[in-house]
Structure 1
Amino acid sequence: MWTVPKPNYRTGLCTEGEIAVNIGGVRVVLSGDVLKRYPESRLAELLDCSTQNSELISSLCDDFDAGKKEFYFDRDPDAFKCIIDVYYFDEIHIKRGICPICFIKEMEFWKIEQSVLDECCKSYLSEKEEELKEIANKVKVILEDLDVEQCVTRTQRCQKFLWRLMEKPESSLPARVIAIASFLSILVSAVVMCIGTIPELQVADAEGELVEHPTLEAIETTCMLWFTTEFLLRLGSSPNKLRFALSIMNIIDFMAIMPFYVVLSLTHFGSSSMMELVNVQQAVQALRIMRVARIFKLARHSSGLQTLTYALKRSLKELGLLLMYMGVGIFVFSALGYTMEQSHPETLFRSIPQSFWWAIITMTTVGYGDIYPKTTLGKCNAAVSFLCGVIAIALPIHPIINNFVVFYNKQKVLETAAKHEVELMELKSGKQVRRKSKEQLE
């Protein structure tokens, strides 16, 4: 509710103790008592200054009509309607459709502190500021990619060119070809790894044991040589070696390459009788499992997988709630299932920890059937458990999906905004060059 008179949007002269301001064609009459609530604001200064002091008035407003005692401002009237709320409610809300960054500039012009912003608007403002920082970072990356010719030495130019070739598929056609080749190599390597486990395609070695076909091993070796060359070129051309080494995706790349060379070393040492053959075979078998890590290399070439990773990071709270719901349900229903099934002589519920497995596959609606209730109460408990499991899983899913969609759309908008910003900078720089050339000709 309004505790003081509302601002008057009227024509005519203002009475004693009032001030008339014209904001972009919108005339508002404000009470002096209201404006004195914030004596350091621009409007309060206009109220206190004398109409005879034209220099002071000119520094505070764009124009002044002494006859009407009306001050003119070439500002946004919609933003001003939000600004005057501070005099009546001691807080400001940013209306929808107004840019929060521009609104902060309006507040600075009217000399209103940002502390009067409501908490919801402060969070909205911080979100927009983060988006601007992300756009600035993207613009900086784009400009760094365009400034290859500004490198001082030939080595720096070659390093910059090689970095763009290996890391920026959108920079040129050769870079795009390399990215496609890397993507196909990952797929081929993953397919070969799977096909190599088919017994019909394996061959017997000298000891009669089945091993991978030599053709598949040759393909595997070719792919690993490509991965190694690619990784070394990216490492050598990286502008920041430490940051490159600590990157999660680069660690995954290294973990996908390393087992291949360790297996070669162990095989060589084993054949040279430096290690026991049994230990070598066990180590080789364990390291071959690590080849699964190479499938994660696809994330470096897929923006969708990267967006999914970031969305899951932002959904840690929802995922934590899901795990908490499932954990409580698993504990409760496994304990109930164990208790209810003890009366049956052929019970499959030997202990509560063993019942955890039954509760997990029941609540997730998998139901392998290796453990199942045989009593009527146990079956009722199972029915309630999988209904609760469906509800527990369904509740946090929507926020997680929403985070993914919001983050994905946000990244697309930020990338487009960054490209437009670079285009505007290029247009401005082109205009400045043409203007300087004109001045030189004149």
Structure 2
Amino acid sequence: MWTVPKPNYRTDLCSEGKITVNIGGVRVVLFGDVLKRYPESRLSELLNCSNQNPEAISSLCDDFDPGRKEFYFDRDPDAFKCIIDVYYFDEIHIKRGICPICFIKEMEFWKIDSSVLDECCKSYLSEKEEELNEIASKVKVILEDLEVDQCITRAQRCQRFLWRLMEKPGSSLPARIIAIASFLSVLVSAVVMCMGTIPELQVTDTEGKQVEHPILQAIETACMSWFTAEYLLRLASSPNKLYFALSIMNIIDFMAIIPFYVVLSLTYLGTTSMMELGNVQQAVQALRIMRIARVFKLARHSSGLQTLTYALKRSLKELGLLLMYMGVGIFVFSALAYTMEQNHPETLFRSIPQSFWWAIITMTTVGYGDIYPKTTLGKCNAAVSFLCGVIAIALPIHPIINNFVVFYNKQKVLETAAKHEVELMELKSDEDARRKTDSGPVLGDTANLLATPHMDVSWRSYRLPA
């Protein structure tokens, strides 16, 4: 048994009474004057009703020994050691090794408001809540994928089936085949676009101009037909078409498709005479260059590229600092270079804005050599700018890499946890089905999985390691 120490300023301790609680086998003696600091807590209520009827006591604890006047609780003693800090220090810290979500449930049991948590623990708890919300959302997506047969109409079932076929490569073998075909189409289209610029593979048209080979054009047309059909099917099967149209990746898909049809309309739909205009031809070339946007379609089929994008989003602060350092350095060293080189008869630094280009390629360690200093002071300035550029670039590299590794590992853990949670749901549903003799939830029945009370997919139903 261990007795909680009391503050030195407390006097006449026994006059307020005391209670003895047994938390998971650990006996603790608590004094009444301390417990009354939080009169709405469970321990304070237990102190007030310790001399009342046994029913009131039973509602507050798991068991009670009248002879020893000891109250028993089947709770975590380590978490309780943190809970009692609020009576003495008016704040609580979550110790290492304790799951923060489980600790919040302990606080709810002891009727302690979560506002007494210290700020550091609140931020740690909010991080865990975000992770659990992500798991809950992933579980909902998995359960919705299993709910195809629960749709009301045949049109809804077909829409859900088509959506899974186009958007969920892991849902079935045909969906995986379509994803692989889409991935290969992007690669083939990119290769054809590059090969079409090789002079040896180009042919001469009737006007004597070099154009792409007809075979390459046919391959390009086939790829664009596939991209168009894929986009239209995904749009038709989307449950929220406005959200689908405004999604970044879908906008990229649209921008990669539309130039092909614009060029096709300008070339073959009665605008041949307009093609003689120089600005129209330049517009067509610009639209053709926009075909490089289809390379970004690879991000839809690559979790690594998606993770890199999310990691860069989380590293915006570090990237902003890098741009700020580089911007200040470029301005300072370009101004110094112009000042030191302007009196040289063969100077290459005609103005400060022109010197920006030299500062950029110097600080980024590119060094084309088209602009370079010719005075001794100018060369010293170039050496300092080079060293400052190396330091400025190296500073945010580690945080960015760390964000990428942390986010990638986190996504893997969350995906595994979500799949494991669904498996536990199915096992629980199977156990319930065995216990029932009448019609009840069966294994794989997603509607019953969602409707079962113990299978709530909110964040409070999950547990993560501390």
Shared fold per TM-score greater than 0.5: yes
Q: Any unmatched runs of 5+ in structure 1?
A: 8-13
CA distance 1:120–1:274, shift in 2 (3 Å): same
1:40 positional shift: 1.7
Which runs of structure 2 are paired with 1:328-343 in the superposition (5 Å)? 328-343=328-343
Aligned residues: 431
Equivalent residue, structure 2, for 1:106: 106
Q: Counterpart amino acid of 1:328? A: V
Q: Distance in 1 between matches of 2:6 and 2:286?
A: 77
SS of 2:395's equivalent in the other structure is helix
Contact 1:270/1:280 (8 A) holds in 2: no
What do the CA deviations read for 1:299-327 (whole angstroms, capped 9, x no partner)? 00011111111111111111111111111
Number of the residue aligned with 2:204? 204
| 1:157-209 C-alpha deviation (Å, 9 max, x unpaired) | 11111111111110111111111111010001001111111111111111111
Determine the structure 1 residue equivalent to 2:348.
348
**Alignment match, 1:56:** 56
Alignment of 1:117-266 (within 5 A): 117-266=117-266
Flag structure 2 segments of 5+ consecutive residues without an equivalent: 8-12, 441-466
Secondary structure at 2:57's aligned position in 1? Answer: helix
Alignment of 1:241-390 (within 5 A): 241-269=241-269, 272-273=272-273, 276-390=276-390
Change (3 A) 1:281 1:123: same
User: For residue 387 of structure 1, what is the amino acid of its counterpart?
Assistant: L
- Aligned equivalents of 1:181 and 1:56: distance in 2? 68
Structure scoring higher RCO (CA < 8 A, sep ≥ 6) equals 2
- Do the aligned partners of residues 419 and 79 (structure 1) sit closer, same or farther apart at CA in structure 2, a change above 3 Å counting? same
CA contact (8 A) 1:270 1:276 kept: no
The Cα shift of 1:287 comes to 0.5
Q: Once the 2 structures are TM-superposed, how far is the Cα of residue 273 of structure 1 from its aligned partner? A: 3.1
Aligned match of 2:78? 78
Q: Quick check: 2:340–2:378 contact (8 Å CA) kept in 1?
A: yes
- Partners of 1:130 and 1:405 lie apart in 2 by 18
SS in 2 for 1:367: coil
Q: CA deviation at 1:61?
A: 1.1
What are the superposed Cα offsets for residues 261-314 of structure 1, whole Å, 9 maximum, x if unpaired?
000000024655366443432221110010010000000001111111111111
Matched-pair contact (CA < 8 Å) for 2:266–2:272: no
Question: CA 1:183/1:84 → structure 2, altered by over 3 Å: closer, same or farther?
Answer: same
Comparing 63-72 with 162-171, which one deviates more in the overlay?
Answer: 63-72
Alpha-carbon separation, structure 1, partners of 2:161 and 2:119: 47
Letter in 2 for 1:154: R
Q: Read off the aligned partner of 1:384 and give its amino acid letter.
A: V
State the distance in 1 between where 2:259 and 2:236 align.
21
Deviation at 1:50?
3.5
SS at match of 2:437: helix
Q: How far does residue 47 in structure 1 lie from its aligned partner after superposition?
A: 2.1
- Name the CA distance, whole Å, in 2 between partners of 1:157 and 1:204: 52
**Contact 2:165–2:172 under 8 Å retained in 1:** yes
Q: Are residues 272 and 302 of structure 1, via their aligned partners in 2, closer, same or farther at CA, if it must alter by over 3 Å?
A: same
Contact 2:337-2:381 within 8 A present in 1 as well:
yes
- Secondary structure, in 3 states, of the residue corresponding to 2:307? helix
Once the two structures are TM-superposed, the CA of residue 257 in structure 1 deviates from its matched residue by 0.4
2:28 counterpart residue number: 28
TM-score of the aligned structures, taking structure 1 as reference length: 0.94
Match of residue 458 from structure 2: none
SS at match of 2:21: strand
Q: CA deviation at 1:437?
A: 2.6
2:95 maps to 1:95: yes
Q: Equivalent residue for 1:39?
A: 39
Q: Which residue of 1 aligns with 2:433?
A: 433
Q: Tell me if structure 1 keeps the 8 A contact 2:63–2:72.
A: yes
Aligned to 1:413: 413
Q: What is the CA deviation profile of residues 133-158 of structure 1, one whole-angstrom value per residue up to 9, with x for unaligned ones?
A: 11111111111111111112222211
Post-superposition Cα deviations, 1:34-74, rounded to whole Å, max 9, x if no partner, equal: 22222221112222224343222111111122222211111
Distance in 1 (alpha carbons) for counterparts of 2:385 and 2:53 = 81
CA distance in 1, matches of 2:6, 2:149: 61
**8 Å contact 1:51–1:66 — kept in the other structure?**
no
Distance 1:281 1:328 in 2: 41
How far does residue 33 in structure 1 lie from its aligned partner after superposition? Answer: 2.4
Query: Distance between the aligned counterparts of 1:229 and 1:103, measured in 2?
Result: 52
Q: How far, CA to CA, are the matches of 1:270 and 1:198 in structure 2? A: 29
With the length of structure 2 as denominator, give the TM-score of the two structures.
0.89
Find the aligned partners of 2:203 and 2:275 in 1 and give their Cα distance.
25
Query: What CA RMSD, in Å, does the superposition of the two structures yield over aligned residues?
Result: 1.8
Deviation track 1:65-109 (CA, whole Å, cap 9, x = no partner) reads: 222221111101111011011112211111122111111111011
1:11 is aligned to: none
How much identity, in percent, do the aligned residues show?
A: 87
Separation of aligned partners in 2, 1:272 and 1:374: 54
Answer whether contact 2:267 2:275 (CA < 8 A) is retained: no
Structure-1 residue corresponding to 2:464: none
Q: Distance in 2 between matches of 1:353 and 1:278?
A: 32
Tell me, in whole angstroms, the C-alpha distance in 2 between the residues paired with 1:234 and 1:42. 55
Gap change, CA 1:271 and 1:243, over 3 Å in 2: closer
